[in-house]
Structure 1
Amino acid sequence: MRKKGMVRLMEIAGEKKGLLVLSGVLSVVSAILALTPYLSVYKILEELMVHWGDPSSLDGQAMRFWGFTALAGVLASMVFLYTGYMASHVAAFRILYGLRVKLAEHIGKLHLGYLSRTSTGAVKKTLEQNVEKIENFVAHKIPDLVSVLATAAVMAAALFSLNPWIAGATTGAALLAFFVQSYMMIGSRGQTLIKAYYDSLERINGSAVQYVRGMPAVKIFGRTVHSFRKFYGDMMDYCRLVTDWTDSFQNGYILFKTILTSLLAFVLPVGVLLLSRGGGRSTGLTVLFSIIMIPGLTAPLYKMMHLSATLRQITEGVNRIDDILDQPAVSEPARPALPEGHDVAFENVSFSYGSEDESTRIDALSGLSFSANEKEVTALVGPSGSGKSTAANLIPRFWDVDSGSIKIGGVDVREMRTEDLMDRVSFVFQDTFLFFDSLYQNILVGRPDATEEEVHAAARAAQCHDFIERLPNGYDTLIGEGGVYLSGGEEQRVAVARAILKNSPILVLDEATAFADPENEHRMQMALKSLIKDKTVIVIAHRLSTIKEADHIVVLDGGTLSEEGTHRELLENRGVYERMWTAHTSAREWGMERPAKAEAI
């Protein structure tokens, strides 16, 4: 069973246990030294009480000693506190780094299905804000928590050693304040509200990302945030949630604050009662010292309350981090195999999108079987929604098939290590993604150990070297910085350069010329000619004219194999392909004409 709460947080933080123990020890020493002024005040008050009738008999040397002792204690406390914070910060930053790397690596091993059904904003919030809060808690709150506990324990011990009745009144009032606050916060309603609060924040993050991405449409149609219903609704839900939170806990918090700031109101009656019953000089000294000391107890108790509230939020954040880490990664074979060839075969493949609930599953492929021979071009065509992209995405295991198998060189892709599989497959997507980095680094993604000459050679082969050289900083130009943006065709040529640099034996092209104008399409064709040489190529085609010369054409319809063959053979079959070809050639002849003027009546 997965650990939760503070136990799980300490398990995460325990990766740097030595530094945290050191930070805790230094914080305890700092807290004790910070109480030195109270000891000095007590000793000075004692001296004054003893000689109150004859001030000239005061021991000035002793009073100066305790004055300098208080100053030295405060300075030493600051040194130990600084050192403790340094240790906790080093531990926190290492934990933050380790957590983010661990999450990023794990997300990289998940099926794309997880990211498809999970809000990008929610994942982003977990990677950034939740991890950042853990770092902040470890760096600041854990030393504070240790310091507060040490301070409260020492002050309570001091009060009990001086007078149990005064100490009991103080402790009882403090416990009453904490009971009032925690009764509402720690209960089931409090936990429910905290979870709802985090759920609401994740929804806002997700809808905010969608709102920003959809800004062109929002502006073109003259809409506002009020018309973007998802974003607006999530904000209003958050507003209502926070209002309910405040309404639920305000009375408890006000009572807590009132009691905590009025501790003397509980102590003074006890002190007066003790003095009225014949308490001597020592009792008077104790009561006077308690009046000075007890207000100093309020600050650590406040801090303890805020720390407990922060801990509840951290616990929820840790749970969400674990929710990601608990997602099953793409399985690795116990005995990995390597293919001898690079032909690709689909054998009775079925696949559905959605959850395990049958009512929500969407069948994408059903009993699909075909082969893409090595060093040949195989085109996947079919109406929209026929399963072309789904079939291609199953080859590099972006998802796993529900039944059947996909084999490369006779080896099931599930029996290959992910690293070996990715080494053999390159993908050029229709929607090209470039990182916010230099063009050189964007191409280098294809093979990180490539030399500069190899990167330039891949760019030349992809027909993008010339336009890169014309940019302000050449290959070092950052995409998106200083107004430097590439056209769709140029971005796709950079993606092709990546694939050329990777030089995998199997290549999947998802309509690589989709955004190209005639000039760019000519350059793309030249780049692709260099890329597909001696490779097993699977092309997802929307414009049928681009795959006329393919060695093999597979026609999909409704997730099943409709027909297959060469271009000529499929036209002769007069099936789905022939109808698509007729529609395609008719569309090429379509044009806009000026409407005829209406005849005068």
Structure 2
Amino acid sequence: MNSTDINPSSRLWKLAFTYKTLMIFSCLFSIFSVITSFIPFIAIYFIVCEIILSISHQIELNSELIISYGWLAFMAAALAIVFNFLALCLSHIVAFKTLYNLKYNFIRYLSCLPLGFHTNHSSGELRKIVDDDIEKIEQFIAHQLPDMIGSFASPVVILVILAIFDWRLGLATLLPIILAYIVLISGYRRKDIKTNQQELQKKLIEMSHASVEYIRGITVIKAFNQTFFSFKRFNDAIKAYQFYCLKFIYCFKYHMAFFILLLNSIYLFIVPVVIFLISDTDNYANFILSAIFYLIFSLGLPAPFFKLIYVTQGFQKTVKSVQNMDEVLNVPPLSEPKEGLKVESYDIQFDNVCFSYHDEQVSNTTESNNALNHISFTAKQGEITALVGLSGSGKSTISLLIPRFFDPDEGHITIGHVDLKQMTSGYLLSLVSFVFQDVFLFKQSVINNIRIGKPDATIDEVIAVAKTAQCHEFIEKLPNGYDSIIGSDGIHLSGGEMQRLAIARALLKNSPILILDEATSFADPENESKIQLAMKALMKNKTVIMIAHRLSTIRDANKIIVLDKGNIAESGTHEQLFSNKRTYYKMWQYYQQTLDWQMHHSDMSSQTMMSK
């Protein structure tokens, strides 16, 4: 995205001050809140002074002055709350605006990344960035940043106050604070603590991945009578996170314990100094009053320093969240021209294409690792080009390269003699309709799921394609018809019904290029013939790439390309390939044997039922 080249800490500050005016005023109000929060301690000191002086000099107590100091303490405390409230209001406005921009831009950027990125990064990892990491940035800006500014302002105010009354007692008060931070910093500088903290973050991500996998696979887990503890990956991920969490805490326990002890024991450093200095003081009354002030003031000192530790840790965690987000934003999208070329015809040509799913950092990639090796063929407009082969032969890979979900490692792919890289992604995707083997339906209404193919389609257009795809009948039986929400109120569709909805999408989009990846794999025998008729109407004058395991569905294809381990074994029509008696011939024989076995098994079952 080119905006993430700076280090994560600087990037976080840049994000926090996206709306500078609001954020600056928020920080100022936070500083004012800190300053006014110390005024009650000073007011209480003067109240105590007035009482002690009145008793020691046996004079009448100035009650009006004491009441004035009391009101000053109350008004200062109230004003501190008001300033803090204003700081948080402004910071929340900035945080919510930034949250919206970050989530919107991140999700939009994900849609621009190649499909290869999504295959190499789990949905749990991306979900954590959207739901956890970006939310942490919002929490930092809304809560922790004003607190951090205030917490850094507190020591400055404290130093000023400590120097006003008696610098010697001020040093005595400051000494345990300095020692506490020396202990804390020494803990943070330990190598094992840094290592365990990094491992803790890694295990948290792994646990998130495993939890998503566990929830998604709960049906399979239940079917095989697995339990939470026997689902090894999830269980191991939780144990690993627990192990490093405890390891990190144990490494830091002594440093944090001494830090807390020193801050809560400031008065123990003041009392010996008071005893030591009291014999040499000239003004006994003023010295005692100063000592009382420092003892009272020491009780309120731990809170701002504990808060400073809290916001510093929050800052470190947020920096890690920014780093996680920027690692995705730094992934370059597929390059494309600003104004791409258009095509006048829709012939698809593969020219010496090689492709591997291996990460770009993996070296020594050989042809044996490639999903495709030097593939060359032409799929002509108005014809059906079928891809057949065993699982893993490269059929689906070819279908993914056509819409440029990946770029080939070698060679070129063109549509109408225009290289895919010379088209914009939006234009290229408008040329292609898909019906994949694995159908994904959104938790939306049936009509909106079909309208994905054409968002502005009318209800009449949707019903027309639904009828053509043999969907209309079962849709009408749903509780709310086309307005029924898939996945809610017990509305679940069978595999065949889901696939027919996917076909309706493609029919509605009506693109010149059609990619069918096992489009009839879940169709029952009754509807398969109807869908085939609908497909013939859909395929007219289109460039069709059809992937099928059931060879009967591609018998009438204009060209059949037989793939074997990423290579083209042979190509031609059904009759040509059958007469060659090579790879396709063997596949056809195996397919016929399977059909014969199914028919024989069906006959046996029928005879058994009749005998009963």
TM-score (norm 1): 0.94
Find the counterpart in structure 2 of residue 599 from structure 1. Answer: none
The root-mean-square deviation of aligned C-alpha atoms, in Å, is 2.0
Find the counterpart in structure 2 of residue 327 from structure 1. Answer: 331
Find the counterpart in structure 1 of residue 193 from structure 2. Answer: 190
Match of 2:348 among 344, 348, 357: 344
Opposite residue 271 of structure 1, the aligned amino acid is V
Distance in 2 (alpha carbons) for counterparts of 1:303 and 1:360: 53
Find the counterpart in structure 1 of residue 316 from structure 2. Answer: 312
Find the counterpart in structure 1 of residue 523 from structure 2. Answer: 516
SS of the residue corresponding to residue 358 of structure 1 reads coil
Match of 2:587 among 557, 580, 585: 580
Note the C-alpha offset of 1:274.
2.5
SS of the residue corresponding to residue 483 of structure 1 reads coil
Find the counterpart in structure 2 of residue 357 from structure 1. Answer: 362
Distance in 1 (alpha carbons) for counterparts of 2:461 and 2:18: 41
Opposite residue 565 of structure 1, the aligned amino acid is G
Opposite residue 539 of structure 1, the aligned amino acid is M
Note the C-alpha offset of 1:48.
1.8
Note the C-alpha offset of 1:484.
0.9
Q: 1:22 to 1:342 in 2, by over 3 A?
A: same
Distance in 1 (alpha carbons) for counterparts of 2:413 and 2:564: 19
SS of the residue corresponding to residue 386 of structure 1 reads coil
SS of the residue corresponding to residue 375 of structure 1 reads coil
SS of the residue corresponding to residue 522 of structure 2 reads coil
Match of 1:20 among 23, 26, 31: 23
Note the C-alpha offset of 1:12.
2.1
1:168 equivalent to 2:171? Answer yes
Note the C-alpha offset of 1:73.
1.8
Q: 1:132 to 1:523 in 2, by over 3 A?
A: farther
Q: 1:176 to 1:456 in 2, by over 3 A?
A: farther
SS of the residue corresponding to residue 31 of structure 1 reads helix
Distance in 2 (alpha carbons) for counterparts of 1:523 and 1:95: 52
- Structure 1 stretches of 5 or more lacking a match? 595-601
Q: 1:39 to 1:451 in 2, by over 3 A?
A: farther
Note the C-alpha offset of 1:335.
5.7
Note the C-alpha offset of 1:56.
5.8
CA contact (8 A) 2:148 2:312 kept: no
SS of the residue corresponding to residue 228 of structure 2 reads coil
With 445-454 and 342-351 compared, the bigger mean Cα shift is at 445-454
SS of the residue corresponding to residue 57 of structure 1 reads coil
Note the C-alpha offset of 1:523.
4.3
1:479 equivalent to 2:486? Answer yes
Distance in 2 (alpha carbons) for counterparts of 1:409 and 1:171: 78
SS of the residue corresponding to residue 489 of structure 2 reads helix
Find the counterpart in structure 2 of residue 405 from structure 1. Answer: 412
Q: 1:35 to 1:200 in 2, by over 3 A?
A: same
Find the counterpart in structure 1 of residue 609 from structure 2. Answer: none
1:287 equivalent to 2:291? Answer yes
SS of the residue corresponding to residue 577 of structure 2 reads helix
CA contact (8 A) 2:192 2:251 kept: no
CA contact (8 A) 2:338 2:424 kept: no
Q: 1:380 to 1:36 in 2, by over 3 A?
A: same
SS of the residue corresponding to residue 439 of structure 2 reads coil
Distance in 2 (alpha carbons) for counterparts of 1:191 and 1:256: 19
With 308-317 and 241-250 compared, the bigger mean Cα shift is at 308-317
1:61 equivalent to 2:64? Answer yes
- Structure 2 stretches of 5 or more lacking a match? 606-612
How many positions carry a matched residue from both structures?
Answer: 595
Note the C-alpha offset of 1:468.
2.1
Distance in 1 (alpha carbons) for counterparts of 2:530 and 2:72: 82
Find the counterpart in structure 1 of residue 562 from structure 2. Answer: 555
Opposite residue 572 of structure 1, the aligned amino acid is S
Opposite residue 312 of structure 2, the aligned amino acid is S
Find the counterpart in structure 2 of residue 271 from structure 1. Answer: 274
* 1:282-312 residue CA offsets vs partner (Å, 9 max, x unmatched): 2211111111111111111111111122222
* 1:306-333 residue CA offsets vs partner (Å, 9 max, x unmatched): 1122222222221111111111211113
Opposite residue 443 of structure 2, the aligned amino acid is F
With 381-390 and 168-177 compared, the bigger mean Cα shift is at 168-177
Match of 2:181 among 164, 174, 178: 178
CA contact (8 A) 1:177 1:260 kept: yes
1:539 equivalent to 2:542? Answer no
* 1:120-155 residue CA offsets vs partner (Å, 9 max, x unmatched): 212211121111111111111111111222233212
Match of 2:470 among 454, 463, 472: 463
1:92 equivalent to 2:95? Answer yes
Note the C-alpha offset of 1:489.
1.1
Match of 1:430 among 416, 433, 437: 437
Opposite residue 327 of structure 1, the aligned amino acid is V
CA contact (8 A) 1:152 1:297 kept: no
Distance in 2 (alpha carbons) for counterparts of 1:5 and 1:320: 9
Q: 1:205 to 1:359 in 2, by over 3 A?
A: farther
Percent identity, please: 38
Find the counterpart in structure 2 of residue 414 from structure 1. Answer: 421
Find the counterpart in structure 2 of residue 219 from structure 1. Answer: 222
